[in-house]
Structure 1
Amino acid sequence: MKQNLFVYNTLTRKKEEFKPLNPPHVGMYVCGPTVYSDAHMGNSRTYISFDLIFRYLNHLGYKVRYVRNITDAGHLEGDADEGEDKISKKAKLAQLEPMEIVQKYTVGFHEVMELLNILPPSIEPTATGHVIEQIELVKEILKSGYAYEVDGSVYFDVEKYSSSHDYGILNGRNLEDLLNNTRNLGGQQDKKGKLDFALWIKAKPEHLMKWPSPWSVGFPGWHLECSAMSNKYLGGQFDIHGGGLDLVPTHHTNEIAQNMASCGKMPANYWLHTNMLTVNGQKMSKSLGNSFLPHELFSGNNSILNKAYSPMTVRFFMLQAHYRSTLDFGNEAMEASEKGFKRLMNAFDLLDDLKASNSTDVEIKPLLNRCYEAMNDDFNSPVLIAELFEASRIINSVYDGKLKIDEYNLQLLKQLMKSFVLDVLGLKDEQAAGDDLPQLLNFIVNLRNEAKSNQDYATSDKIRDGLQKIGFQLKDTKEGTNWTKI
């Protein structure tokens, strides 16, 4: 039973039934990283969340075209229209070509995504690879009358646009509030209004990354690239647009304005946003000195947490919180997640050893339905994980002989665990690497059995206790001794 899927739409501020424009096809665009530095934990949280969404839509049978861009030009310091390009600045400091910086951090980003078992998107376009499309989009917006040129730069006229459109439709704020809360920035003299933003910026002589255009040799504004690339690969209107909550006030608001001005359509029907990260209750930020990078978390080389945590533990930890809730890092929370992840995967590893009976003490169908209910309620992974722990309890009870399960329910249980643990949550058993491990452990178990048969209980207990210390538990049964990871 696969009930209807409901998602929380930032645009309408409520949960809505998900109805794709062209089922079974789904178009999804998620704003990707600006590759001038290492991928940070906020990136990881956002892309794990949308990986969950991508995986679940695929699981439901949708054919998803997932577009996630790489910003390799046009993103200026302070996320505004002034200052230096983030990538160019890094290139000058390192005395490298900008594309060397782009390559280095794109490769690093992909490595982190792979460690976290995040599936690659269907298309991963770059801003520099779509300058022509961005120039054409600026032409369309100029033609519609919602932009103006000043000395080789082109700006979007927000106040003119607001006379016939709701500029604050996504962030829920009216134009007067936005104007009153916008500070004057340097270089605003060319703009008609405080909220106007650059579509094309005339490059200064020292600017490294620039292209010819009808207006000047320059570069596109940061907001423009996502509109141009989503339009090219998903059309003027598509199903889902996603990103971090911090993109709502400006970046996504401006994307909507650009799309409406160029083709008269709201770019996406559903806008989904992930919430922020905190550390011990404080917002994670470099200025507070409480931020760390994924590889610092994996290696334990950080001053916040007591120990290193594996990529799958981190993924599991993030999935234990709903993507729209804040996620708080702390030692106790991470340690609890590590234990929970091991408990879940230990139960998963027992699946193939379960034996069916002629009768059953447990019905799996209601549990399976609850797993779908959780995910169909705006991808509620914490509730799903709670249901998977119930499945784990059943697995352990069947394995220990405390519950009987017939063949039909056993197959349903296996389907449930494999579908939701592996395919939907994207978890994998990190300790299963190495084909020699089972043989090695079986050899050690046999040595212990020999010691027991020789009544050498001191050695037998030493082997058992030693294995337990490094994470393996022995269990003596009528059929022999089994081992499991703990």
Structure 2
Amino acid sequence: MEQTLVIYNTLTRSKERFQPLHAPNVGMYVCGPTVYGDPHLGHARPAITFDILFRYLKHLGYKVRYVRNITDVGHLEHDADEGDDKIAKKARLEQLEPMEIAQHYTNRYHQAMEALNVLPPSIEPHATGHIIEQEQLVSQILDNGYAYMSNGSVYFDIEKYNKDHKYGILSGRSLENIIDESRALSGVGEKKNQADFALWKKAQPEHIMRWPSPWSDGFPGWHCECTAMGRKYLGNHFDIHGGGMDLVFPHHECEIAQAVASQGDQMVKYWMHNNMITINGQKMGKSLGNFITLEQFFTGNHPSLEQPYSPMTIRFFILSAHYRGTVDFSNDALKASQKGMQKLMDGLADIERIAPQAQSDSNVHDFVAAFRQKCYDAMNDDLQTPLVISNLFEACRIVNTIINHKASISATDLDELSSAMRLFAHDILGLRADSAAGNDKREEAFGKVVDMVLELRNKARSEKNWTVCDQIRDALKDAGFEVKDTKDGCVWKLNC
């Protein structure tokens, strides 16, 4: 059955049927990390959210070009006009080249994404590799009259743009409100209006990263890179632009203005934004002492963490809430995700041990017949991953009743249930047993050793040597294994 995906468009503030501009090709751009520090929980959510969209669009048969940028240029984050360039500041402190800092943390980001089973994008452009494209964008905006030069810098003229178009269509803000908010800042300085944003900044003598341009030796404004690189790799019009909710204003609002000012119309059809992650109800931040990197989650090396949490626990935790809803971290929430993840992995393992019968019980057959489409319906409704997980848990309950000989399933239904569970758990949600993050051969050998020990126990049972049988069971229990005797033999699992 053909599936119809409906997504929420931040621009129109409504759910819309996804209709690509150039089907079956889909262009998707997602704002990636600024690489001056270790990746943290805030980096994980957009990466996982749009990984799900990437996986699902490909599953539906689309050819997806997924572009996710790396911000490594030495400009001021969030387009601040005063303050430190964080990459250059770290470079000075550690006596390294700025690009060494950027490369180090880019590598760290990639390692974290691999652990979280986030697929690599089709293209991962770096801002420093596209300075020419950003200068071309600035020139186009200047030529069209929506920017002005001031002391070697170039600024976007928001008031001029607002007369011909409307600034604020994504965030819902009016120019008057933006100007009122900006009046609280210090004097206008080089700008006509404090609300104007930088397209190109003249570098001060101490600024390490700089490039020549028609206006000055300097660096592009923060908003330029995504507009320039999105257009280079996806064309003047593409389907999806995504990122965190914190980017709606000013970053994505300014991107829209830049695109319209340079080419005359909007570049993006669907805007999608994931919501934020809080920690015990507070925004995550170093000043609050609740800033936790992904590596700290994986190792448990942080005062706020009661234990380590595996990458798949983190992924399951994020997918347990809808991407547009807030997620509040707590140890209790992550422990619940750990148990939920283990329950799902146990169900997927248990289904391999089922011996099919001649026919299914009616309730089992009815569940299997509806299961796959119920999962599709959840995904098609704006990527409702919590509902998919709920459906998978119900499938695990069915598997458990069959394992315990309280229900029967036919070979046809078993194949369908196994196929659908693995499709949605592994291929679409990207969940996998934690051992799959590496060490596969070691884990496989480990399992064979345990199976061999249980064969010795089964032999002792057949010989009615209950003492040896109990000794093996107790030794495995002390080592962290749960051994269960069933009518079909002995099964085991490792309690995490």
The share of aligned pairs that are identical, in percent, is 55
Q: Does the 8 Å contact 1:72/1:126 carry over to 2? A: yes
| Structure 2 residue 20 is the aligned partner of structure 1 residue 20 | yes
| Structure 2 residue 189 is the aligned partner of structure 1 residue 182 | no
Q: TM-score, normalised by structure 2?
A: 0.94
Structure 2 equivalent of residue 316 of structure 1? 316
Bigger mean CA offset, 407-416 vs 57-66: 407-416
Deviations 1:372-404 (A, max 9, x none): 011111101001000011111122222332222
Query: For residues 36 and 246 of structure 1, do their structure 2 counterparts lie closer, same or farther at Cα, with a shift above 3 Å needed?
Result: same
Structure 2 equivalent of residue 231 of structure 1? 231
Deviations 1:77-135 (A, max 9, x none): 56423333221111111111101101110100100000111000000001110000011
Shift of 1:186: 5.0
The code of the aligned residue for 1:357 comes to Q
Q: Does the 8 Å contact 1:76/1:222 carry over to 2? A: yes
| Structure 2 residue 416 is the aligned partner of structure 1 residue 404 | no
Q: Show structure 1 runs of 5+ residues with no match.
A: none
> In structure 2, what is the Cα distance between the partners aligned to 1:59 and 1:81?
44
Deviations 1:9-49 (A, max 9, x none): 11111111111111111111000111111111100111011
Deviations 1:325-350 (A, max 9, x none): 11111121111111111110011112
Q: Does the 8 Å contact 1:320/1:385 carry over to 2? A: yes
> In structure 1, what is the Cα distance between the partners aligned to 2:193 and 2:126?
30
| Structure 2 residue 455 is the aligned partner of structure 1 residue 442 | no
Structure 1 equivalent of residue 372 of structure 2? 368
Shift of 1:453: 5.1
Structure 2 equivalent of residue 209 of structure 1? 209
> In structure 2, what is the Cα distance between the partners aligned to 1:425 and 1:76?
35
3-state SS of 1:163 partner: helix
CA RMSD of aligned residues (A): 1.7
Shift of 1:182: 2.0
Query: For residues 397 and 51 of structure 1, do their structure 2 counterparts lie closer, same or farther at Cα, with a shift above 3 Å needed?
Result: same
3-state SS of 1:67 partner: strand
> In structure 1, what is the Cα distance between the partners aligned to 2:73 and 2:158?
24
Structure 1 equivalent of residue 98 of structure 2? 98
Shift of 1:451: 4.7
Residue correspondence of structure 1 range 128-167 to structure 2 within 5 A: 128-167=128-167
Query: For residues 457 and 320 of structure 1, do their structure 2 counterparts lie closer, same or farther at Cα, with a shift above 3 Å needed?
Result: same
3-state SS of 2:26 partner: strand
Q: Does the 8 Å contact 2:312/2:432 carry over to 1? A: yes
Counterpart pick for 2:426 among 422, 426, 430: 422
> In structure 1, what is the Cα distance between the partners aligned to 2:336 and 2:470?
28
> In structure 2, what is the Cα distance between the partners aligned to 1:60 and 1:139?
40
3-state SS of 1:212 partner: coil
> In structure 1, what is the Cα distance between the partners aligned to 2:236 and 2:464?
77
Q: Does the 8 Å contact 1:73/1:85 carry over to 2? A: no
Q: Does the 8 Å contact 2:27/2:240 carry over to 1? A: yes
Query: For residues 192 and 482 of structure 1, do their structure 2 counterparts lie closer, same or farther at Cα, with a shift above 3 Å needed?
Result: same
> In structure 2, what is the Cα distance between the partners aligned to 1:334 and 1:280?
12
Shift of 1:457: 4.0
Q: Does the 8 Å contact 2:28/2:239 carry over to 1? A: yes
Q: Does the 8 Å contact 2:79/2:221 carry over to 1? A: no
The code of the aligned residue for 1:157 comes to D
Matched residues, number: 486
Shift of 1:75: 3.5
Bigger mean CA offset, 427-436 vs 411-420: 427-436
Deviations 1:170-223 (A, max 9, x none): 001111111112245457311011210110111112211111111111111010
Q: Does the 8 Å contact 1:82/1:186 carry over to 2? A: no
Q: Does the 8 Å contact 1:357/1:405 carry over to 2? A: yes
Query: For residues 93 and 186 of structure 1, do their structure 2 counterparts lie closer, same or farther at Cα, with a shift above 3 Å needed?
Result: farther
Q: Show structure 2 runs of 5+ residues with no match.
A: none
3-state SS of 2:287 partner: coil
Counterpart pick for 1:476 among 485, 492, 495: 485
The code of the aligned residue for 2:260 comes to M
Query: For residues 84 and 118 of structure 1, do their structure 2 counterparts lie closer, same or farther at Cα, with a shift above 3 Å needed?
Result: same
Shift of 1:71: 0.4
3-state SS of 1:56 partner: helix
